[in-house]
Chains A and B, each alone.
Chain A
Amino acid sequence: MLTTLSKKLCNREISAYELTKNYLEKADKLGAYLFKNVAALETAKRVDERLAKGEVLHPLAGIPIAVKDNIVTKDIPTTCASRTLENYIPPYDATVITKLKAAGLPILGKTNMDEFGMGSTGENSAFYPTKNPRDNTCVPGGSSSGSAAAVAGGLAPVALGSDTGGSCRLPAAFCGIVGFKPSYGAVSRYGLIAFASSLDQIGILSKTVSDAGLIFDVISGRDPRDMTSIDISENTEYTPKIKRFEDIEDALFDLALPAYYIISSAEASSNLARYDGVYYGSDGLFGDEVRRRIELGNFVLSAENIGEYYNKASSVRAALCRKMDELFANCDFIVMPTAPDEIPKLCQLANGSEMYEKDRFTMLANLAYLPAITLPSGVTIMAQRGRDKALLSYAREVEANGI
């Protein structure tokens, strides 16, 4: 879709200004956006002017993009859908935003999400819930609920999300679009408001795999400001040798979900320690789910409990990584379901372990630092860390022809 838009913009069939204006006009629908960025029209106008002069711009210049509200945007409110950051306007841009601006993509606005990334349904925003455009009675999935709904509902051609345990891929599956989580480190986390630092990655919600690949090319790359960022492999060769998840089921995977929640809560309790009321709102303004995770995190890191919980979870994680290395030594890709069962209805899931179960498959990729992509059919494909480009290639194949 982006390629088509790009051609039309270059041929001056449509203007970036009109394109951006149309999206902005629809932005109030579905509870997808928390902030509409009217200044995007200026960016779009400038792209049109430069194209009129015959300048050769980045192929994606003028294509508007929606950004999840946990990615820092200079002078534009960034709230993580939390009352704590209700009035927070960052003084700097995330690295990915700097890259998008340099390529000339107007930032349409900031999308709704589960508060601080904690939630799998999109019902944990402190402000208002997001609707699933595919089925109004169902949840859109979370935590990148707004980004997924916006792309699925035609309110943005493409969107950035973030993925800590499945937060791009689950809503992509629920809304029927593509959700891509790059390898850990492939995209700079500088400017991504941290939930769980060793699990978070900025991801992409899009209509097609090719679109995800185009945006990935803009935002990926090692960043000196992010010491965990890596260079990914340029190698796009694969046989393909596929393994299905049912065939590799292992008792280890049963330990992975509790390990994921222990590690992510521990890191969340640490990352949210700064909301003490001095600079911005205090932790008195957190929602219940956030509070729950922080308490869990404090518990598993406490001196009496760290051995039993956090350290054990770290060992499980290390074992899981070794297991995935073994598997990928003998295959290119692993195919698996995204969600364990039906898309939940609105208000169906209570918070807590019932909801946590939804991440059962998706969080494996986060724990093991792997790239993973979800297709509109609901299937997820994973690859070895660093093989993002090969994964995107194969995913394009599967999108067109099935597995």
Chain B
Amino acid sequence: MVYEAVIGLEVHAELNTKTKMYCACKNAFGGEINTRICPVCTGLPGTLPQLNREALDKAILAGRAMNCTIATKTRQYRKHYRYPDLPKGYQISQLSIPLCMDGHFDYFCGDTLKRAYIRQIHIEEDAGKLIHNGESTYVDYNRCGVPLIEIVTDPCFHSSDEAYSFLEAVRTMLLDIGISDCRMEEGSLRADVNVSLRKAGESKLSARVEMKNLATFNGARRAIDFEIARQRELLDRGETVVPITMRWDDEAGKSIFMRDKESAADYRFMPEPDIPPLKIECSSTPLPESEAERRCRLLRGLPSPQAKEIAKNLKLCEYFDSVSHIGEKVCANFLLGTVANLTNETGIPVWESYLTANKFCAIITKINSGEINTDGGKILMEKLFTADIGVEETIDKLNLKVCRDRSDYLSVVHFVLVNNEKAVNDYKAGKGNAIGFLVGQCMRSMSRGADANLFREILEEVLECL
């Protein structure tokens, strides 16, 4: 039996606002427990929420980046449940009239462009953290009240690869628009998944299983694969899938039953009386291109792997865009080769280095014109990456100019031919590759400032005469 997997995602992202969602406590990670708390975020009697406008603005940016309709009026709701990390006994979240609705977000899965459908994005506050220590459990309220957005997708993914790719793309988007630091290990980005299976070709949705506690994107991928396999087995045996909520144990590589949907807590949603309905004025600050948009644009002039690599990083792409008029392919080659190596060595990205776009372009131009050769270009880039020096002065200092003095070339050619009899005989015998070897030998003898094509030309001339 062939089944189709149907997957929906709920992504929670902590916003990088200065202060918490409803009070003036600092929004930060780590530090001593219970030091960033106040009567409001600890839910002391008598306190009231005071909405953080920065959180609202950042949530709207996410909505716009995902092509959502932004509400003109939005309402907060109280979502009630009991847990020690939730001091008010309810979370201020949203239900109907969420901030953003009905969007879409394009992303690449492998080399295929796909479209994810976004049901809604809403704002809510984070809960505290429980710390287990032997027999006792403690509560740290530092995280309580940190602003969150929750991105809820339609069940529009059909493989763990798609889900994984989407999560990566969302992460990039959140970083690009600058609203979250997306550190999964710090809990600032979390995902829940919903998985169901149906017979291939069917349009109705089947019972779905929810999986929580996915701490990494790879963990999400593994959890989805596990669940698809588990459900496939059940269905093949003629059993039905029960709609339940599972907790994913990544170490054990399996999911653990948490609760069934019937006995799920009734959250008793109630409109939040302490916060009047909010009138929303949607900003028109220009947003950066999405990763998918960048990649599609770059694909017009670059091969797929290079387009993918450059599109991944907004700043790298901006740098590329500022130099690519010189020649897309040559720029891409250098950026992803020499320059990427320099970044790996130094830890400095090119846009923070001394290798400005202007200097980069100047170097490429000189390579194109033949003034210097490719190796010389590489050396120039290395030098200019870590020091604030000029292109011309460095070429002079390091003697990188390609010389084209035929007599110099002839001496080298003669020297190389004398010392490489076998290659000469191979060439004479008709092995065309031998000339490449000989060019290489000549270049090595005069590596800086040598023109390989000129060597080849002269070699061919000389060899003709032998």
Tell which of B154-162, B194-202, B265-273, B448-456 binds the partner: B265-273
Tell me, yes or no, whether B370 is within 8 Å of chain A by CB.
Answer: no
Tell me, yes or no, whether B84 is within 8 Å of chain A by CB.
Answer: yes
Residues of B within 8 A of A72 (CB): 45-46
Tell which of A35-43, A190-198, A320-328 binds the partner: A190-198
Q: Are B276 and A228 in contact (CB under 8 A)?
A: yes
Interface string of B274-291 (1 = CB under 8 A from A): 111000000000000000
Q: Are A298 and B268 in contact (CB under 8 A)?
A: yes
Residues of B within 8 A of A78 (CB): 45-46
Q: Are B84 and A194 in contact (CB under 8 A)?
A: no
A90-B45, A301-B270 are known contacts. Are A274 and B87 too (CB-CB below 8 A)? yes
Query: How many angstroms from the CA of A113 to the CA of B318 in the assembled complex?
Result: 66
Interchain nearest-CB distance for A266 vs B (Å): 6
Nearest B residue (CB) for A196: B273
Q: Are B46 and A94 in contact (CB under 8 A)?
A: yes
Tell me, yes or no, whether A270 is within 8 Å of chain B by CB.
Answer: yes
Count: A-B pairs, CB below 8 Å: 92
Residues of B within 8 A of A225 (CB): 48, 50
Q: Are B50 and A224 in contact (CB under 8 A)?
A: yes
Q: Which of A194-227 contact B (CB under 8 A)?
A: 194, 196-198, 224-227
Tell me, yes or no, whether A387 is within 8 Å of chain B by CB.
Answer: no
Residues of A within 8 A of B89 (CB): 270, 273-276
Q: Which of A257-283 contact B (CB under 8 A)?
A: 266-267, 269-270, 273-276, 278-279
Query: How many angstroms from the CA of A71 to the CA of B275 in the assembled complex?
Result: 20
Query: How many angstroms from the CA of A273 to the CA of B270 in the assembled complex?
Result: 13
Task: State which of B45, B50, B275, B276 has its C-beta within 8 Å of the C-beta of A274.
Answer: B45
Interchain nearest-CB distance for B108 vs A (Å): 40
Task: State which of A194, A226, A270 has its C-beta within 8 Å of the C-beta of B270.
Answer: A270
Tell me, yes or no, whether B368 is within 8 Å of chain A by CB.
Answer: no
Residues of B within 8 A of A275 (CB): 89
Q: Which of B137-188 contact A (CB under 8 A)?
A: 139
Query: How many angstroms from the CA of A72 to the CA of B45 in the assembled complex?
Result: 8
Tell me, yes or no, whether A253 is within 8 Å of chain B by CB.
Answer: no
Q: Are B82 and A276 in contact (CB under 8 A)?
A: yes
Task: State which of B50, B269, B273 has its C-beta within 8 Å of the C-beta of A267.
Answer: B273
Tell me, yes or no, whether A3 is within 8 Å of chain B by CB.
Answer: no
Residues of B within 8 A of A238 (CB): none
Tell which of B36-44, B57-65, B379-387, B395-403 binds the partner: B36-44
Residues of A within 8 A of B50 (CB): 224-225, 227
Residues of A within 8 A of B39 (CB): 90-92
Query: How many angstroms from the CA of A278 to the CA of B89 in the assembled complex?
Result: 11
Query: How many angstroms from the CA of A89 to the CA of B46 in the assembled complex?
Result: 12
Residues of A within 8 A of B269 (CB): 301, 306
Task: State which of A190, A198, A270, A278 has its C-beta within 8 Å of the C-beta of B80.
Answer: A270
Query: How many angstroms from the CA of A298 to the CA of B268 in the assembled complex?
Result: 7
Residues of A within 8 A of B275 (CB): 227-228
Q: Are A192 and B46 in contact (CB under 8 A)?
A: yes
Tell me, yes or no, whether B34 is within 8 Å of chain A by CB.
Answer: no
Interface string of A299-314 (1 = CB under 8 A from B): 0011100100010000
Q: Are A190 and B84 in contact (CB under 8 A)?
A: no
Q: Are B88 and A274 in contact (CB under 8 A)?
A: yes
Residues of B within 8 A of A279 (CB): 42-44, 87
Tell me, yes or no, whether A110 is within 8 Å of chain B by CB.
Answer: no
Task: State which of A88, A192, A198 has its C-beta within 8 Å of the C-beta of B273.
Answer: A198
Interchain nearest-CB distance for B128 vs A (Å): 10
Q: Are B45 and A197 in contact (CB under 8 A)?
A: no
Q: Are B48 and A226 in contact (CB under 8 A)?
A: yes
Interface string of B21-43 (1 = CB under 8 A from A): 00000000000000000010011
Tell me, yes or no, whether A16 is within 8 Å of chain B by CB.
Answer: no
Tell me, yes or no, whether A360 is within 8 Å of chain B by CB.
Answer: no
Query: How many chain B residues have a CB neighbour from A under 8 Å?
Result: 28
Q: Are B273 and A278 in contact (CB under 8 A)?
A: no
Tell me, yes or no, whether B49 is within 8 Å of chain A by CB.
Answer: yes
Query: How many angstroms from the CA of A85 to the CA of B90 in the assembled complex?
Result: 20
Residues of A within 8 A of B299 (CB): none
Interchain nearest-CB distance for A256 vs B (Å): 18
Q: Are A266 and B87 in contact (CB under 8 A)?
A: no
Tell me, yes or no, whether B47 is within 8 Å of chain A by CB.
Answer: yes
Tell me, yes or no, whether B359 is within 8 Å of chain A by CB.
Answer: no
Tell me, yes or no, whether B78 is within 8 Å of chain A by CB.
Answer: yes
Tell me, yes or no, whether B342 is within 8 Å of chain A by CB.
Answer: no
Nearest B residue (CB) for A88: B45
Tell me, yes or no, whether B51 is within 8 Å of chain A by CB.
Answer: yes
Query: How many angstroms from the CA of A194 to the CA of B49 in the assembled complex?
Result: 13
Q: Are A194 and B44 in contact (CB under 8 A)?
A: no
Task: State which of A80, A88, A278, A298 has its C-beta within 8 Å of the C-beta of B84.
Answer: A278
Tell me, yes or no, whether A358 is within 8 Å of chain B by CB.
Answer: no
Nearest A residue (CB) for B266: A303
Interface string of B350-371 (1 = CB under 8 A from A): 0000000000000000000000
Task: State which of A196, A228, A278, A306 has its C-beta within 8 Å of the C-beta of B139.
Answer: A278
Q: Which of B63-113 contact A (CB under 8 A)?
A: 78, 80, 82, 84, 87-90
Q: Are A270 and B266 in contact (CB under 8 A)?
A: no
A278-B84, A302-B268 are known contacts. Are A228 and B45 too (CB-CB below 8 A)? no
Nearest A residue (CB) for B78: A270
A276-B89, A303-B266 are known contacts. Are A190 and B45 too (CB-CB below 8 A)? no
Tell me, yes or no, whether A131 is within 8 Å of chain B by CB.
Answer: no
A278-B87, A279-B87, A298-B268 are known contacts. Are A273 and B49 too (CB-CB below 8 A)? no
Residues of A within 8 A of B273 (CB): 196-198, 228, 267
Interface string of A69-109 (1 = CB under 8 A from B): 00110000010100001001011101000000000000000
Nearest B residue (CB) for A197: B273
Query: How many angstroms from the CA of A69 to the CA of B32 in the assembled complex?
Result: 34
Tell me, yes or no, whether A293 is within 8 Å of chain B by CB.
Answer: no
Residues of A within 8 A of B266 (CB): 302-303
Interchain nearest-CB distance for B52 vs A (Å): 12
Nearest A residue (CB) for B278: A227
Nearest B residue (CB) for A273: B89
Query: How many angstroms from the CA of A91 to the CA of B90 in the assembled complex?
Result: 22
Tell me, yes or no, whether A68 is within 8 Å of chain B by CB.
Answer: no
Nearest A residue (CB) for B49: A227
Interchain nearest-CB distance for A294 vs B (Å): 11
Query: How many angstroms from the CA of A86 to the CA of B355 in the assembled complex?
Result: 68
Interchain nearest-CB distance for A89 vs B (Å): 11
Residues of B within 8 A of A198 (CB): 273
Q: Are A266 and B274 in contact (CB under 8 A)?
A: no
Tell me, yes or no, whether A389 is within 8 Å of chain B by CB.
Answer: no
Tell me, yes or no, whether A189 is within 8 Å of chain B by CB.
Answer: yes
Nearest B residue (CB) for A71: B46
Of all A-B residue pairs in the complex, the 4 with the closest CB atoms, nearest first, are A273-B89, A197-B273, A198-B273, A301-B268
> Can you list 11 contacts pairing A with B, beta carbon distance less than 8 Å?
A72-B45, A191-B47, A192-B46, A227-B48, A227-B274, A267-B270, A267-B273, A270-B268, A273-B80, A274-B88, A306-B268
Q: Given contacts A85-B45, A191-B47, list 6 more A-B pairs with CB under 8 A.
A: A194-B45, A226-B274, A228-B274, A267-B270, A279-B42, A303-B268
